[in-house]
Structure 1
Amino acid sequence: MSVLPLVFTSGWASGINAYAVVLLLGVFGATGLSDDVPEVLQRPDVLIAAAVLFLCEAVADKIPYVDSVWDSVHTVIRPIAGAVVAALLAGQSGSLPELAAGAVGGTTALMSHFVKAGTRMAVNTSPEPFSNIAVSTAEDLGVAAIIIFALFHPVAAAVIAGTLLALGLAAVVFLAQRIRRFWRRRAQRRAERRPTGPGVRHPVPTDGSEHF
C-alpha cells in the first residue's frame, strides 16, 4: 500500500504541531503498536527532545501574542520537520521516493502552518486569553487524533486532513480583516514602546513631508 496518505497527513499535522507528530509516531513505533514508524523516530533521545519541545509549545501556544512569536520562529522549523518525517516514512515503506515524499510533507506542513499562524493572528485581536487556550487545546487534540487515526486508516485520515486544510485556508481568507487588524495593533504597540522626549532623535522623513 502507498505511504502517500500517511505522508500527507503527517505533513498537515506537522504544520500544526511538529513535536506532537514526532512524539506520537515515536511512541507508537517504540511500543510496537505500529510497524510503519522508522526506527530513528523511536530513539529515546528523539522522544525526550520531542517531549520537552512539545511541553514548551503547549505553554507558549496558549499565551496571546507569544503564540504568534512562536509561530514566526517555526515558519521554517515546521515545514522542515514535515519534510523529514515524510522522507523517513517513505524510506521505511519503500513505496514512494523519499525526495517526492519530502516535498509533499514539507509543502503540506507549510500550508497548514500558515493556516495556524493566520488563525492565531485573528484570535489575538480578542482581548481575552481564553480563546487562545481553547484554540490551542483543540489543535493539540486534533493533531493527536488524526495521527493515531492515520496509523490505522491512512486514506480516511488523509481525506480528513485535506478537508481541514481546505477549510483552514478558506477561514484565513475570511479572517483577513482581523489579521490585518492584528498587524496594525502590533505596529501600534511598537510605536508606543519607542522612546520619546527631548534628546531622542527620530528619522527625518525623506518624502518631502517635513514640517517647519
Structure 2
Amino acid sequence: MGIIEILGLATSASLLAGWRLYLVILATGIAMRTGAVPLPEHLSGLSVLANPWIMGLAGVGALAEFLADKVMWIDSLWDGVHSFVRPLGGALVALAIVDPGDPVLQVVAFLLGGGGALLAHGGKASARAVVNTSPEPVSNVAVSSVEDVATLGLIWLAYEYPVAAAVVALIVLAGCVWLLVLARRVLKRLFWRVPDTAPPPAP
C-alpha cells in the first residue's frame, strides 16, 4: 500500500471519527475480531481496538451517542462535550493506521487526523444546530440516522478498498465544508438579521 492510500485511509477514518467516534472504533474492532472486513496487514496498530474492554467502552459510547443524537438540543450538548474528544480520537485512529517505523509519516497522520476530525465535528455540530432550529423533531431522527448509515458504509468502504479511501476522505471533506458554509448562512439569516431602519410612511 502506497503512502497516498495510507494517508487517505487515515484521513477518511479520522474524518468519520469526527462524526461518530465510538461507532468507528466499535466497527473497526468488530471487523478485526470477526474478519468480516479484511483489514490490510500493515494495520497492526488497530489491533488494540479489538480488545474486549475497548470494544465494550466503544459500544456503550456508541449507544449513548445514538440515543443522544436523536433528541433535539441534547445532540448539540453532546457535540459540545465532544469538541475535544472527537479530534483527539480521530488523531489517535490516524496514528494507529500509519507505519510506526516512519515518525515523519506518523506526525503527518496525527496532524491530518486531528484536523480532519475537528473539521468533520464542526460540520456535524453546525448542521445539527441548524436542524434544531426546526420545530419538527422527526428531522433530528432522520439526519442522525443518515449519519449512522453513512459512517458505517464509508468506514467499510475505506477498509475494504484502501485505494478508495482517499476518495472517501475527499467526499467526507467536501461534505463537511459544505455543511459549515450552509450552517453559517442559515444561522446568519436567523440570528443576524439587519433591523428595518426605514422611516415610517408619511400620514
TM-score class, shorter-chain normalisation, is 0.7 to 0.9
Match of 1:168 in 2: 176
Match of 1:112 in 2: 120
Contact 1:83 1:104 in 2 (8 A): yes
Please give the alpha-carbon distance, in whole angstroms, between the structure 2 residues aligned to 1:88 and 1:182: 42
Secondary structure of the structure 2 residue equivalent to 1:170: helix
Contact 2:22 2:59 in 1 (8 A): yes
CA RMSD of aligned residues (A): 2.1
Match of 1:139 in 2: 147
Please give the alpha-carbon distance, in whole angstroms, between the structure 2 residues aligned to 1:181 and 1:58: 30
Contact 2:12 2:172 in 1 (8 A): no
Please give the alpha-carbon distance, in whole angstroms, between the structure 1 residues aligned to 2:157 and 2:100: 19
**1:100 CA displacement:** 1.8
Aligned residue among 58, 69, 72 for 1:64: 72
Aligned residues: 184
Please give the alpha-carbon distance, in whole angstroms, between the structure 1 residues aligned to 2:143 and 2:71: 11
Please give the alpha-carbon distance, in whole angstroms, between the structure 1 residues aligned to 2:152 and 2:124: 16
Which entry has the higher C-alpha Rg, 1 or 2?
1
Higher relative contact order (CA 8 A, sep 6+): 2
Query: Share of identical aligned residues, percent?
Result: 37
Match of 1:149 in 2: 157
Secondary structure of the structure 2 residue equivalent to 1:173: helix
Structure 1, unpaired ranges of 5+: 185-212
1:119 counterpart letter in structure 2: A
Secondary structure of the structure 2 residue equivalent to 1:62: coil
2:53 counterpart letter in structure 1: D
TM-score (norm 1): 0.79
TM-score (norm 2): 0.83
In structure 2, relative to structure 1, the CA distance for the partners of 1:181 and 1:70 (3 Å cut) is farther
In structure 2, relative to structure 1, the CA distance for the partners of 1:179 and 1:154 (3 Å cut) is farther
Aligned residue among 18, 22, 28 for 1:15: 18
Please give the alpha-carbon distance, in whole angstroms, between the structure 2 residues aligned to 1:30 and 1:85: 17
Match of 1:103 in 2: 111
